Amino acid sequence: MPKRTLFKRFLIWRAKHISHKQFVNILSVVIGFAAGMGAVVLKNLTHFIQSLLEGNLIEHYHHAFYFLFPILGLTLVYLIMKYVIRHKVSHGIPSTLLAISKRKGIMKRFQMFGSILTAPLTVGFGGSVGLEGPTVATGAALGSNISRMFHMNQTTRTLLIGCAAAGAMSSIFKAPIAAIIFAIEVFSLDLTIASMLPLLLASLSAILTSYFFFGDDVILPFRIEDKFYITDAPFYILLGIIAAFVSIYFTDVYDRIQKFFDKIESPVKKLIVGGIGIGILVFLIPPLYGEGFDVINNLIVGNPEKALESNLFHLNLDNIWIVVMLLGGLLIFKIVASSLTFGAGGVGGIFAPVLFMGSIMGFCMSKILNHCGLFKTTISESNFTLVGMAGLLAGVLHAPLTAIFLIAELTGGYELFIPLMLTSTISFGITKYFKPHSVYTMELGRKGELITHDKDHAVLTLMDINKVIETNFIAISPEMDLEQMINKAIIKSKRNIFPVVDKESKKLKGIILLDDLRPIMFDRTLYKEVLATHIMQKPPAVILLDQDKMTDIMQKFQDSSAWNLPVTKNGVYYGFISKSKLLTAYRRQLISLQVDS
């Protein structure tokens, strides 16, 4: 019996014996396991490559390999994309957000393995990015394609993508609660009882998978030893303010470098420019090589000298101000290195660079405060290092709750909950004021294609404007006389609006309403005297298909009080949108967003 028939029989059996909710719960466990396995494969491949190259060739042969490896890795990534995958592998989380916003949660099949083939080469060879984004993208693609295989609707697909994201983060950090919050904050999932259980199951399934393969190993193996004192609160408030401005710096540099590379059309030129740039930076500043979690762990335990021992200039690390200066250099250039890696075509995520910069920011601030001699109290450098990571996560990713719970879970307790809340809230609030969109969402946000927790905005974003455009209007040319208009348009049309369109340029010149024609259409003496240009009028508003977002279209209907508005595309007449059809489409989309019972 053919496999397809067996699969169809299973679908029929499932529909009869397993409810939709139960089946979604089952799929969430499967997707959590798949996301966990994706994290295991990505992490092991990357660390194998990194230990092979950095541990053997660089350590035992020559420091110059720091310059060569990133270029070689990015070249391999380019060749794999061109000849093996034959698709561009986009940044993990932004590509997933785009799929949710504009593609109804549908992700292409190559995305299930694209990041697995390219991210380990990018990071293992020294690309200054993280593995979290590719892991989330791999899990999300698995979740999307599994849900499509079982004919899940758009709402369920989006939920299962969120489950995959939660599973990926849970597996990487062994922080299941923070992983769920991450999926809700970043992917704007509706938090309901129906969605909560699948997220919990996926996160649990993924963390069990991680424990099975990695045991008790965690990325940040640290337990809080220093307590929080209320006298430290002003310092954590100051840390939150500093984190906000570092977050703004991070976002600005990332955005500007990405725009610079967007202007370069040739992928080979991007590879050369970005590869040489990241090669020089890693050669001059070796701690920028790869994710940088070794640097973070050394800072947390108060051993910055270990993180900086390979500095090219062999500076004296006994001088605390030299240490602060070198760490400040890492803070400034990490985002430059990460952006160059992305610009050159590398595949990775920004989560690790954010943690890297946040840890340095918190550590440097505590060092400076403790050694400037202005305060009698000594503040905990390890605590500030940890809280600094949360502050930058809250600012750059616009995910304060994720930042708070991630650091709290990683450190095995809630001793730092108050400083985490203080710093993260202040950082998020200030950054949000200056930067409305995070680095994940800035491109979609500018285009108005970003899903948000605002239900009305989410519905408008998900609506397809092309489905509400009507093109069965008979166009009238400006030089037509009344007789021609009656014989060629009015008699043949079932509409009461007629667009006046230039024959050559196809541009919209105006509109004629049937009400404008009715008083004169039976007066034969006017048939040759009245032209379309004499009676046409300017439309109350024009919808620009290539520019207007759905929110703009709704606003134009509201401001004009019109029931029909003309649509142009690249300056050429395209059709009309009616308010009634638009509201019907809105209502249908709103119903489809409701969680299935």
Residue 65, burial from CB neighbour count under 10 angstroms (0-12, 13-18, 19+): buried
In whole angstroms, give the CA distance from residue 25 to residue 44: 29
**pLDDT in the model for residue 453:** 46
Quickly state the pLDDT bin for 1 (edges 50, 70, 90): very low
* Residue of 465, 462, 456 lying closest to 547 (CA atoms): 465
In whole angstroms, give the CA distance from residue 306 to residue 296: 11
Q: What percent of the chain has pLDDT over 70?
A: 88
Quickly state the pLDDT bin for 333 (edges 50, 70, 90): very high
For the chain, give the number of residues.
597
**pLDDT in the model for residue 389:** 94
Question: What's at 560, amino acid-wise?
Answer: S
pLDDT in tens, 418-441: 999 999 999 999 999 998 888 877
Mean pLDDT of the chain: 83
Structure tokens at 515: 């009400």
Structure tokens at 130: 């993280």
Structure tokens at 192: 């309901």
- In this prediction, residues 189-218 reach a mean pLDDT of 82
pTM of the predicted model, to two decimals?
0.77
pLDDT in tens, 107-124: 888 888 888 889 999 998
- In this prediction, residues 378-394 reach a mean pLDDT of 91
pLDDT in tens, 346-376: 888 888 899 999 999 999 999 998 888 677 7
Tell me the helix, strand and coil percentages in the chain, rounded to 5.
Answer: 65, 5, 30
Quickly state the pLDDT bin for 241 (edges 50, 70, 90): very high
User: Which backbone phi and psi does 487 adopt, to 5 degrees?
Assistant: -75, -35
Domains of the chain: 3-214 (1.10.3080.10), 230-454 (1.10.3080.10), 458-593 (3.10.580.10)
pLDDT in tens, 487-535: 888 888 788 888 999 888 888 888 888 887 888 877 787 878 888 888 8
* Residue of 118, 109, 61, 63 lying closest to 89 (CA atoms): 118
- Cβ contact 472:448 at 8 Å: no
**pLDDT in the model for residue 454:** 47
- In this prediction, residues 160-167 reach a mean pLDDT of 89
- In this prediction, residues 267-296 reach a mean pLDDT of 88
3-state secondary structure 461-493: HHCCHHHHEECCCCCECCCCEHHHHHHHHHCCC
Alpha carbon of residue 474 to chain centroid: 43
**pLDDT in the model for residue 384:** 92
For residue 593, pLDDT beyond 60: no
**pLDDT in the model for residue 597:** 38
**pLDDT in the model for residue 121:** 92
Out of 341-345, 408-412, 584-588, least confident range? 584-588
In whole angstroms, give the CA distance from residue 566 to residue 548: 13
In whole angstroms, give the CA distance from residue 178 to residue 404: 8
Q: What percent of the chain has pLDDT over 90?
A: 23
- Cβ contact 141:119 at 8 Å: no
For residue 596, pLDDT beyond 50: no
**pLDDT in the model for residue 595:** 43
- In this prediction, residues 4-10 reach a mean pLDDT of 75
